Amino acid sequence: MLAAERGAAPNTLAAYGADLEDFAGFARAAGQAPAGADAELLRAYLRRLADAGLKPRTAARRLSALRQFYRFLAREGVRQEDPTELLDSPRLPPTLPKPIAEAEVAALIEGAGRLPGHRGPLAAAALELLYCSGLRASELVALPAAALRPDAALIAVRGKGGRERLVPISARARDAALAAREALGERPRGKAGRKAEGKPAALPPRWLFPARGASGHMTRQHLGLLLKDAALAAGIEPARVSPHVLRHSFASHLLGRGADLRSLQLLLGHADIATTQIYTQVLEERLKALVEAHHPLAEG
């Protein structure tokens, strides 16, 4: 089913096979057929994984394989119920953001400016806006052209759940976005690279980052590739750079320079401040490393 209906990759199929085979061995040792296992046996298996020191994330992946296996059996009528419905997933520790350094952000923007043609101004504008306002990738690409005004210090952004918020935009980011708009406006139009004769002039673009796709604006995938190219130009490992990393960097750098959590929550558009509190862990780790590296009594 995974191969034929979902088109799962070979590595995914191998991982599912290994996880299910491990559980099958446990079930047989307990005197049960894997396909007929009950919730109690599954709980015992998860306890064994915990006792063996398996990381919660690995245990959660194995439980995910079991959930899909038993849902498949129930859907196909092999068994009446899905025993995994009664199981709780292992608690996963929050994933700490991995921001890049302030100097690396500056190098990244400089690298973006060196990209050829219109891609240079476009990448620079995207980076400036992501880093100065902490925008999500989906929020950036869907910014309407009207959001950018030469005299506006704030722009309205529609985030998750349709919630709208105002975010500040620096003069530098605004200038970069205006330069990108001008560069895009100078691009050749039409298949022959010029305006078709006898046709009316094109209307101003609806989006700040227009594109020819169905949505009319740049896609998140295109944005991600643009940032990777900027990273290569800056001599930074591309795997370390993404719109999400820029958002994390914005939050972490602000917090490190004294911003309070409530203000950060409003800027990031988090519905719950608990989501914002993850950044305090980043700051705690940094302060801990600072003390361990420089405190006179830290050695030994």
> Do residues 151 and 34 share a domain?
no
Q: Which of 33-47, 188-202, 262-276 has maximum average pLDDT?
A: 33-47
Is the predicted pLDDT of residue 123 greater than 50, yes or no?
yes
Q: How is residue 173 written in tokens?
A: 């980011």
Where a domain ends, among 52, 86, 120? 86
| Domain total in the chain | 2
pLDDT of residue 196: 46
pLDDT of residue 191: 42
Question: The domain spanning residue 44 has which CATH number?
Answer: 1.10.150.130
The more confident residue out of 167 and 161 is 167
Question: The domain spanning residue 131 has which CATH number?
Answer: 1.10.443.10
Res. 188 pLDDT band, cuts 50 70 90: very low
Q: Which residue has 């620079």 as its token pair?
A: 124
Is the predicted pLDDT of residue 288 greater than 80, yes or no?
no
Res. 19 pLDDT band, cuts 50 70 90: very high
Is the predicted pLDDT of residue 192 greater than 70, yes or no?
no
> Do residues 20 and 72 share a domain?
yes
Task: Look up the pTM and report it.
Answer: 0.62
Res. 111 pLDDT band, cuts 50 70 90: very high
As a whole number of angstroms, the distance between CA 79 and CA 83 comes to 10
Instruction: Tell me if residue 128 falls in helix, strand or coil.
Output: helix
> Do residues 117 and 240 share a domain?
yes
Q: Which of 148-162, 205-219, 286-300 has maximum average pLDDT?
A: 205-219
> Do residues 218 and 166 share a domain?
yes
Where a domain ends, among 24, 56, 86? 86
Max CA-CA distance within the chain?
81
Residue 192 domain flag: no
Where a domain ends, among 59, 86, 113? 86
Q: How is residue 125 written in tokens?
A: 């504008």
Res. 240 pLDDT band, cuts 50 70 90: very high
> Do residues 263 and 114 share a domain?
yes
Domain around 51:
10-86
pLDDT of residue 283: 67
Residues carrying an active site annotation: 136, 160, 244, 247, 270, 279
CB 105 within 8 A of CB 94: no
What is the overall mean pLDDT for the chain? 85
